[in-house]
């Protein structure tokens, strides 16, 4: 894999949140970054910041739910910079609501953007990458790729689908002996504008991320690592990793924890009223932002991801030790139990 400074990177959803943080991080290291999203003003603002930091940027307004636009994005990236080294599929939309309260059009839009948008991105990236016999595709999954969360039914479905699609396309490339890396990134809840931009049907209240919340720059750091180190999956944050581990161990237990005192619902609702503005079908005007409004809660680094998740042997040792410990604890039984 090339050093970041020598790479051409395509990023969808580059106008805000994780995509914007990643674009700025790649640009600061000298990469040539192709920025894609629906909001031209926000993309131009990011491009200016990248160029000021020493990188190069090219803006391509793109709705990832439309295959011709994603195909054009890949073509313009190659026309502008000659090739593509890393493609980050990051664009996403959401609605916080019970599926019973959602329209068919809303459900369809979430699946079209979140799942089909990434499938289109992979297909578009594979053309130039197969010709050059190199490249890295990074798909943005979530802890929700493994673990369901209430009020996010379509979003969870899309993230489960992305995980399965990523695993499948990886097998296709391995069979071809094609040296293209495909990585799934799985963060937990983040301090980004994603929750402000999502449509909400929560009794008039604004939606919010469930704590603990991480800063989007933590995910961007992990994405840059994936662009230079071949990895299958990378989970961002120890809490997300623990949720995935517990899901594998006992899904029913996690269900009970999320339903206890309505925590999984209550913790997703702010006391502030919803402003009724969202980006489900059209971009929100403005220059965009990396962060949301939960900065005072946001964790700005992850020891687990940086020092364990990124190193497979350390990760295997940790989870093996934890599994052995839990088995030993279960065999002992509760305190005071007869033996």
Residue 70's closest CA among 110, 111, 142, 12? 12
E strands of 26-96, at which residues? 32-37, 56-61, 86-89, 95-96
Both tokens of 238, joined, read 């120890």
236 near 302, Cβ under 8 Å?
Answer: yes
Q: Which of 120, 155, 214, 304 is an active site residue?
A: 155
Q: How far apart are CA 284 and CA 200, in angstroms?
A: 15
Contacts of 157 (CB under 8 A, 6+ apart): 111, 115
Residue 307: CB atoms within 10 A of its CB come to 10
| 3-state secondary structure at position 37 | strand
197 near 152, Cβ under 8 Å?
Answer: no
State the pLDDT at residue 337.
Answer: 56
User: What is the distance between the terminal CA atoms of the chain, rounded to a whole angstrom?
Assistant: 56
Q: How far apart are CA 136 and CA 71, in angstroms?
A: 17
In the numeric block, the tokens 């799942």 are attached to 115
| Alpha-carbon Rg for the chain in angstroms | 20
Query: CA dist 42 to 47, 63, 115, 126, 284, Å?
Result: 9, 14, 23, 27, 10
DSSP character string of 236-257: ESHHHHHHHHHHHH-HHHHHHH
- Write down the architecture of domain 4-301 according to CATH: 3-Layer(aba) Sandwich (3.40)
Q: Which residues of the chain fall short of a pLDDT of 70?
A: 333-339
Q: How far apart are CA 269 and CA 142, in angstroms?
A: 20
User: Is the peptide bond between 212 and the residue preceding it cis, with omega within 30 degrees of 0?
Assistant: yes
Buried b (16+ CB within 10 A) or exposed e, 71-102: ebbbebbbeebeebbbbbbbbbbbbbbeeeeb
Whats the size of the chain, residue-wise? 339
46 near 15, Cβ under 8 Å?
Answer: yes
State the pLDDT at residue 327.
Answer: 72
180 near 124, Cβ under 8 Å?
Answer: no
DSSP character string of 117-157: HHHHHHHHHHHHHHHHT-EEEEEE--GGGTS--TT-HHHHH
Q: Does the annotation mark 155 as catalytic?
A: yes
């Amino acid at each position: 894999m090339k050093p970041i400074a020598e790479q051409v990177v395509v990023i969808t959803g580059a106008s805000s949140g994780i995509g914007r943080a990643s674009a700025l991080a790649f640009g600061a290291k000298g990469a040539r970054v192709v920025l894609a999203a629906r909001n031209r003003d926000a993309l131009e603002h990011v491009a200016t910041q990248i160029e000021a930091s020493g990188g190069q940027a090219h803006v391509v307004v793109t709705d990832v739910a439309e295959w011709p636009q994603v195909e054009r994005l890949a073509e313009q990236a190659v026309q502008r910079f000659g090739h593509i080294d890393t493609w980050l599929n990051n664009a996403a939309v959401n609605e916080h609501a019970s599926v019973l309260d959602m329209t068919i059009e809303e459900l369809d839009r979430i699946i079209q953007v979140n799942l089909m948008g990434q499938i289109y991105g992979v297909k578009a990236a594979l053309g130039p990458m197969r010709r050059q016999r190199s490249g890295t595709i990074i798909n943005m999954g979530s802890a929700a790729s493994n673990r369901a969360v209430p009020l996010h039914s379509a979003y969870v479905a899309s993230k489960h689908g992305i995980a399965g699609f990523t695993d499948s396309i990886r097998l296709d490339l391995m069979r071809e002996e094609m040296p293209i890396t495909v990585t799934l990134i799985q963060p937990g809840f983040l301090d980004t504008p994603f929750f402000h931009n999502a449509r909400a049907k929560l009794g008039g209240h604004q939606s919010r991320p469930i704590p603990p919340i991480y800063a989007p720059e933590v995910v961007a750091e992990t994405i840059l690592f994936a662009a230079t180190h071949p990895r299958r999956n990378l989970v961002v944050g120890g809490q997300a990793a623990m949720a995935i581990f517990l899901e594998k161990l006992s899904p029913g237990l996690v269900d009970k924890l999320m339903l206890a005192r309505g925590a999984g619902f209550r913790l997703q609702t702010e006391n502030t009223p919803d402003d009724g503005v969202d980006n489900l079908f059209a971009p929100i005007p403005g220059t965009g932002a990396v962060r949301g409004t939960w900065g005072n809660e946001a964790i700005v680094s992850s020891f687990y991801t940086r020092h364990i998740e990124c190193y497979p042997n350390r990760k295997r040792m940790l989870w093996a030790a934890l599994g052995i410990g839990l088995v030993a604890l279960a065999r002992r039984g509760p305190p005071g139990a007869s033996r």
